[in-house]
């Protein structure tokens, strides 16, 4: 994931996101990114990065509470 801005579907709507950081944790790669809410605030989101059938990076939802908590700790450390 080299580009800093990219399009992503959130709740059925295409939004522009900005990559903040990629991290490797327990053998998996994660993307931490921001989506501008338009009122001078942003949502900070994270997804696991996986390769699709064409070898391109694709973002997938975090699947377990353990995975979410590990990434949440990283995000909190980034902004504290």
Question: What 8-state DSSP symbol labels residue 54?
Answer: T
Which helix (H) or strand (E) segment is 49 a member of?
strand 42-51
**What would the two tokens of residue 76 be?**
């909190």
Q: Which two tokens stand for residue 30?
A: 């994660």
What are the per-10-residue average pLDDT scores of the chain (80 residues)? 79 93 95 91 95 94 95 91
Model pTM score? 0.85
């Amino acid at each position: 994931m080299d580009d800093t801005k990219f399009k992503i579907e959130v709740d059925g709507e295409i939004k522009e996101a900005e990559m903040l950081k990629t991290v490797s944790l327990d053998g998996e790669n994660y993307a931490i990114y921001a989506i501008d809410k338009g009122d001078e605030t942003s949502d900070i989101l994270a997804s696991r990065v996986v390769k699709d059938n064409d070898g391109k990076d694709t973002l997938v939802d975090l699947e377990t509470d353990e995975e979410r908590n590990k990434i949440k700790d990283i995000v909190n450390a980034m902004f504290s």
